[in-house]
């Protein structure tokens, strides 16, 4: 069970990208023009429904996006709606990262002080046959922004990609030197 939970945390840290870093296949203007089937510079409920969205979803979008309540969405309203969605998505990503950080702290923080020491990481890695070597210490030190020899929740959640790399490096079993 511990292995599964650890894997879930590593995967989440490694692959959770903030919403604003995701590439978009089209510009917002191109997308707006594609939905605006009659080219009147507005998106109507009917045009939105023709895109395959349910009427309920379209009505929910219009409730937020149609700021002047004229039953159509102008390009500026479309852009504002996109900004609202991105902001909401970014906030959700931040909540997920905080949850992943708390999971990691729970797994590794043996003395329950809310921080991960390098020794606690070594003990945790040892459960999986991993060996906390020089590279692991280097990554740990890079993450330790306040240089107190421990990683706190903020240091973990603000650096989720590096934390994923740290865990991958720390959990790799040691290989004997061949020479």
Contact (CB, 8 A) for 101 and 166: no
Check whether residue 127 and residue 76 sit in a common domain: no
Residue 129 within any structural domain of the chain: yes
The predicted model gives 58-80 an average pLDDT of 93
- Do 120 and 82 share a structural domain? no
User: Average pLDDT for residues 89-102, to the nearest whole number?
Assistant: 75
Strands 115-117 and 72-74: unpaired
165/121 same-domain check: yes
**pLDDT of 100 higher than 80:** no
Residue at 59 is within a domain = yes
**Are residues 113 and 83 located together in one domain of the fold?**
no
Confirm whether 94 is domain-assigned.
Answer: no
Task: Please give the mean pLDDT across all residues of the chain.
Answer: 77
User: Does residue 118 share a domain with residue 77?
Assistant: no
pTM for the structure as a whole: 0.49
In a domain, 49, yes or no: yes
Specify whether the backbone of 71 is left (phi greater than 0), alpha (psi in -120 to 50) or beta.
left
In a domain, 17, yes or no: no
Pick from 67-76, 93-102, 141-150, 170-179: least confident: 170-179
Query: Residue 10: what pLDDT?
Result: 45
Q: From the CB of residue 108, how many other CB atoms can be counted at a distance below 10 Å? A: 22
CA distance 67 to 87: 17
CATH of the domain at 135: 1.10.238
Asked whether residue 13 is assigned to any structural domain, the reply reads no
pLDDT confidence bin for 108, thresholds 50/70/90: confident
User: Quick one: average pLDDT of 53-68?
Assistant: 90
**Total domains in the fold of the chain:** 2
The residue range of the domain holding 132 is: 109-171
Q: Model confidence at 15, in pLDDT bands (50, 70, 90)?
A: very low
On the CB side of 33, how many CA atoms lie within 13 Å of its CA?
Answer: 5
Same-domain check for residues 62 and 33: yes
**Residue 104, in any domain of the structure:** no
Give domain status of residue 143, yes or no: yes
Contacts of 46 (CB under 8 A, 6+ apart): none
119 and 67 part of one domain: no
72 with 116, same domain?
Answer: no
> Strand (E) positions, 112-175?
115-117, 150-152
For residues 84 and 31, state if they share a domain.
Answer: yes
Indicate the DSSP class of residue 18: -
Residue 114 sits in the same domain as residue 167: yes
pLDDT at residue 175, as a whole number: 54
How many CA atoms, within 13 angstroms, populate the side-chain half-sphere of residue 41?
A: 1
Residues forming beta bridges with residue 115, ordered by sequence position: 152
Do residues 130 and 163 share a domain? yes
For residue 76, what are its two tokens? 């500026």
Which tokens belong to 25?
């296949």
């Amino acid at each position: 069970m511990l292995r599964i939970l650890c894997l879930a945390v590593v995967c989440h840290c490694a692959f959770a990208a903030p919403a604003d870093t995701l590439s978009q296949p089209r510009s917002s203007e191109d997308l707006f023009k594609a939905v605006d089937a009659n080219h009147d510079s507005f998106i109507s409920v009917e045009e939105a429904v023709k895109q395959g969205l349910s009427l309920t979803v379209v009505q929910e979008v219009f409730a937020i996006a149609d700021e002047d309540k004229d039953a159509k969405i102008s390009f500026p309203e479309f852009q504002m709606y996109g900004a609202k969605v991105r902001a909401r998505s970014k906030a959700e990503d931040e909540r997920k990262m905080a949850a992943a950080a708390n999971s990691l702290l729970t797994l590794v923080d043996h003395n329950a002080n809310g921080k991960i020491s390098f020794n606690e990481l070594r003990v945790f890695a040892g459960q999986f046959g991993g060996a906390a070597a020089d590279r692991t210490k280097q990554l740990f030190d890079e993450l330790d922004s306040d240089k107190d020899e421990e990683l706190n929740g903020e240091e973990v959640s603000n650096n989720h990609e590096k934390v994923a790399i740290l865990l991958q490096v720390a959990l790799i079993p040691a290989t004997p030197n061949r020479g």
